[in-house]
Amino acid sequence: MSIFVLGEGMLELAAIEDGSARVAYGGDALNTAVHLARLGAAPQFVTALGDDPYSDWLAGKWRAEGVGLDHCLRIHGGKPGIYAISIGDDGERSFTYWRNDSAARAFFSHPMAESAIAAMMGASLLYLTGITLSIFDVAHRERIFEIMDFVRSRGGEVAFDVNYRPKGWLRADDARSAIRSALERSSIAFSSVEDWALLFETSDAEGIATLVKKAAGGEVIVKDGVRGCFFAAGEDRGWVAPKERCAPVDTTGAGDSFNAAYLAARIAGRSPQEACATGNSLAAKTIMHTGAIGARVAH
């Protein structure tokens, strides 16, 4: 199966204390790509990096994880974005970004972009997020929608996570329009209750699933923290609760790891309900460490 993940990978500053920080890497789509690779799915991560030492370091780390970078473009004079994690007493995270001139934003301007796009169009599974959409302008978002349409027209799957970060958009209305367009083109749709409530002021997981299913028409998974998730696939609907509750250390990347485990389980032929249980399990492991991507754990 040819799996393509479109998005941005960044430097991550975490565990900031006494003037020092742990430097790692993350980014919502990248997090999912790394976990897919750890689960044996061998995804290609489509993005752009700079030609600086930090970009080289990131690319080396991602390759070591088993993430394919055949279509990771290099921008002359570019550099990666950076984000820092702040963690509250309850383990919930917030982010500060330095990414306005991130190389990933220049992906579609690169001379080799068309080759990367052609490769994505041949995907068996294409994955992207609302944050992916937010780093591009309107014209390039339209190009992404064309890619999604083409993958679907060939019988491929398109998985999309709403993943809404208000700071990434000039206006909430722009986000609503772009995310609706992406959902209409998706066969597998993910959202958290939190993200959907920020955008559409609806916080009932079952109601959200009904609304998204009308737009997407395929599989819908609504993640709701400690409650687990609610799924709707065909005629099947229901809650899948976590096996156990954990006191989170850092919730960064939990939803991204859930998505990877869900997709890997579906690729392996498991039911949506089983895939949700697998997603809950990996998300529970993810929140027990600091940063988006921790050390390898048993799946």
Number of Cβ within 10 Å of residue 128's Cβ equals 26
Check residue 298 and give its pLDDT. 46
CB of 45 closer than 8 Å to CB of 69: yes
Give me the pLDDT at residue 287, please. 86
Percentage of the chain lying above the pLDDT 90 cut = 82
pLDDT tops 60 at residue 74: yes
Fold classification of 3-286 is UDP-N-acetylmuramoyl-L-alanine:D-glutamate ligase (3.40.1190)
Cα distance between residue 106 and residue 62, in whole Å: 20
Helices (H) and strands (E) in the chain, counts: 10, 13
Phi, psi values for residue 131, rounded to 5°:
-65, -40
Q: pTM for the whole thing? A: 0.95
Among 70-79, 93-102, 130-139, 260-269, which is the least confidently predicted range?
Answer: 93-102
* Residue 7, token pair as written in the block: 């998005």
Looking at residue 295, its pLDDT comes to 65
175 contacts 130 by C-beta, under 8 angstroms? yes
Q: Is the predicted pLDDT of residue 299 greater than 60, yes or no?
A: no
pLDDT of residue 293: 85
User: Residue 299 is encoded by which pair of tokens?
Assistant: 């799946």
- Positions marked active-site: 256
Strand order in the sheet with 157-161: 72-74, 44-49, 3-6, 125-129, 157-161, 188-192, 219-223, 229-233, 236-240
Alpha-carbon span 55 to 80, nearest angstrom: 6
The structure tokens listed for 21 are: 């920080």
pLDDT band at 249 (very low <50, low <70, confident <90, very high): confident
pLDDT bucket at 75, cuts 50 / 70 / 90: very high
